Amino acid sequence: AQSVTQLDSHVSVSEGTPVLLRCNYSSSYSPSLFWYVQHPNKGLQLLLKYTSAATLVKGINGFEAEFKKSETSFHLTKPSAHMSDAAEYFCVVSDLYNNNDMRFGAGTRLTVKP
Amino acid sequence: DTGVSQDPRHKITKRGQNVTFRCDPISEHNRLYWYRQTLGQGPEFLTYFQNEAQLEKSRLLSDRFSAERPKGSFSTLEIQRTEQGDSAMYLCASSPRTSGTYEQYFGPGTRLTVT
């Protein structure tokens, strides 16, 4: 069985400060891990994915995440928040060899203050 | 725009009525997925198709729900005898059939409100 836990339901940062969105996963298999972003009235957009290659994954819009197997974590970071980053973020785990079974976390709402 | 499209974007219906949603995937993608997302939660898997074959269904998909993808292109999701608990965002996603890991591309969703 696979699951993810997003440790914060809401994160608030000031524009220009670092962003950290935390995600822990549980997987019986070698996992694939993803971060998706959902802006209001928009579809889910892939930010980045980990698929057993480099443990530090760079994504779009300056986001990156580090896969830490010992900690079963895949936290999302960005050095400097922008107002346009305000959205809902979802951490997702799937079996590396069966992407049909994708398990989403409950989401973290990121607020960016001016 | 060549992304995943869904129609309608919003649907309000009375309890007991039937509703049907449509999803048009990215044209070269042969896998199509349906998810349900309720307020404050992440999307939950409902079912998926490879071409026209429905290969997996979640236990969330009660017998009031049916999905089709008759020609391996667009898909429809029908809910019969809607209940207030069916109110949610219904998301469609598609992905290409390639070796290795691939991501799913999501549509904007259909928001269903059952009154």
- For chain A positions 11-70, those within 8 Å of chain B (CB to CB) are 32, 34, 36, 41-46, 49, 51
pLDDT at B99 over 60: no
Strands B110-114 and B10-13: parallel
Closest partner CB to B41 (pick from A44, A46, A106): A106
Put simply, whether B74 touches A (Cβ < 8 Å) is no
Q: Cα separation of B70 and B67, whole Å?
A: 10
Q: What are phi and psi of B106, to 5 degrees?
A: -100, 145
pLDDT in tens, A7-59: 999 999 999 999 999 999 998 778 889 999 999 878 899 999 998 778 899 99
Percent of chain A at pLDDT exceeding 70? 96
Put simply, whether B25 touches A (Cβ < 8 Å) is no
Angle at B56 between CA A108 and CA A7, to 5 degrees: 15
The C-alpha of B83 sits at a distance from chain A's nearest C-alpha, in angstroms, of: 23
User: Do A43 and B107 count as a contact with CB atoms less than 8 A apart?
Assistant: yes
Put simply, whether B95 touches A (Cβ < 8 Å) is yes
pLDDT in tens, B20-56: 999 999 988 889 999 999 988 999 999 989 888 888 8
Q: Cα separation of B103 and A32, whole Å?
A: 10
- pLDDT averaged over every residue in chain B: 91
> What value does the mean pLDDT take over residues B50-67?
87
Put simply, whether B94 touches A (Cβ < 8 Å) is no
Angle at A107 between CA A72 and CA B112, to 5 degrees: 140
Closest CA in chain A for residue B109:
A43
- Is residue A81 within 8 Å of residue A13, measured between CB atoms? yes
pLDDT in tens, A47-99: 999 987 788 999 999 999 999 999 999 999 999 999 999 999 999 998 766 66
Q: Cα separation of B4 and A25, whole Å?
A: 28
Q: What is the pLDDT of residue A43?
A: 83
Put simply, whether B42 touches A (Cβ < 8 Å) is yes
Measured between beta carbons, the chain A residues lying within 8 angstroms of B91 are 43-44
Percent of chain B at pLDDT exceeding 70? 94
Closest CA in chain A for residue B33:
A100
Q: Cα separation of B55 and B50, whole Å?
A: 7
